[in-house]
């Protein structure tokens, strides 16, 4: 695969020199220092490596960096704006929706897409959408709560 020389991540064009066959995850973490995105399984099963490419959630552990091209990549580091947390990040804090928090970036990145598609999800909607994200500490009920809090804060949820 050709060498990747440029990636658009979190609104910044990064110059780099990476083998295009390398997974996007490794390039984000090792070359760009964006370590908020995590390695969990390397086979797309756990969701810890979830990032957005043009707003679509992808498993960066399975996606070759060479496949990204000029598309916009967003990572957990790109959610915070001017020191203000994204409503989902704030909701995870408010709901205490983490233990070791290693899954948290992937959870938040998946939930951001869920709420963009469905601003007022039911519990079933959340469970179905988030079922590809594993939290081994078992914080699922709190994460469910956090997503609902964020939906409300973002104005999507019915009163």
Partner 1 sequence: MSEPHPSSSPEIYPEQYELRGPAHAKPPRFRRRAFLKLLGAGVVVLCVNRRAAAKAESGAGGPRLAGGTPRPATLDAWLQVAPDGTVTFFTGKTEMGQNIRTSLTQAVAEELPAPIGSIRAVMADTDLTPYDAGTFGSRSTPDMGLQLRRAAATAREALIDLAAARWSVDRGSLTAADGRVIHPPSRRSVGFGELAAGGKLVRTISSGTALKPATQWRIAGLSVPKVDGRQFVSGRHRYASDMALPGMLFGSVLRPPAYGATLESLDVSRAEAMPGVKVVRDGEFVGAVAPSSFEAARAVAAIGATWKTRAQPSEDRLLRDLRGGGNPPESGLFLEADGGLTLKRSYTMAYIAHVPLEPRAAVAVWRDGKLTVWTGSQRPFGIRDEELTEAFGLGPERLRVIVPDTGSGYGGKHTGRAAVEAARLARAADRPVKVVWTRQEEFTWAYFRPAGVIDVASRVRADGKLASWDFHNYNSGSAGIAPPYAVPDPQTQFHSADSPLPQGSYRSLAAAANHFARESHVDELAGALKLDPLEFRLRNMTNPRLRAVAEAGARAFAWGGAKAAGHGSGMAVGLDKGGHVATFAEVAVDASSGRVGAVRVVQAFECGAVVNPDHLRLQLEGAVVQGLGGALFEAVHFENGRILNPHLSAYRVPRFSDAPAIEIVLVDRRDLPSAGAGETGIVGIAPALGNAICDATGVRLRSLPMVPDGLRRAS
Q: Which residues bind to partner 1, rule: CB under 8 A?
A: 18-19, 21-23, 26, 29-31, 33-43, 45-46, 48, 75-77, 79-80, 85, 89-90, 92-93, 96, 98-105, 108, 126-128, 130-144
**Residue among 10, 22, 17 at smallest CA distance from 65:** 22
- Chain-centroid distance of CA 128 in Å reads 17
**Residue among 27, 23, 153 at smallest CA distance from 90:** 153
CB of 120 to partner 1, least distance (A): 18
Return the number of other C-beta atoms located less than 10 Å from residue 139's C-beta. 22
CB of 84 to partner 1, least distance (A): 11
Residue 22 or residue 72: which is nearer to partner 1 going by CB?
22
Residue 43 or residue 158: which is nearer to partner 1 going by CB?
43
Kindly calculate the radius of gyration of the chain based on its CA atoms and give it in whole angstroms: 16
- Rounded Cα distance between 155 and 29, Å, is 33
CB of 55 to partner 1, least distance (A): 18
CB of 159 to partner 1, least distance (A): 23
Residue 15 or residue 159: which is nearer to partner 1 going by CB?
15
CB of 71 to partner 1, least distance (A): 20
**DSSP code of residue 15:** E
Residue 52 or residue 159: which is nearer to partner 1 going by CB?
52
Give the residue carrying structure tokens 């704006």. Answer: 81
Helices (H), the chain: 24-26, 87-94, 104-117, 123-130, 140-153
Residue 17 or residue 159: which is nearer to partner 1 going by CB?
17
């Amino acid at each position: 695969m050709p060498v990747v020389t440029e990636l658009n991540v979190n609104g910044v064009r990064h110059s780099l020199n990476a083998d295009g066959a390398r997974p996007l995850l490794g390039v984000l973490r090792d070359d760009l220092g964006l370590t908020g995105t995590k390695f969990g399984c390397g086979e797309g099963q756990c969701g810890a490596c979830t990032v957005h490419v043009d707003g679509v959630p992808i498993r960066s552990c399975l996606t070759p960096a060479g496949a990204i091209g000029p598309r916009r990549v967003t990572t957990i580091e790109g959610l915070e704006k001017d020191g203000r947390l994204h409503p989902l990040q704030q909701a995870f804090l408010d709901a205490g929706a983490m233990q070791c928090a290693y899954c948290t970036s992937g959870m938040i990145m998946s939930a951001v897409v869920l709420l963009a598609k469905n601003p007022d999800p039911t519990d079933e909607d959340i469970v179905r959408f988030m079922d590809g994200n594993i939290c081994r500490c078992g914080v699922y009920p709190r994460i469910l709560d956090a997503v609902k809090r964020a939906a409300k804060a973002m104005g999507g949820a019915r009163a």
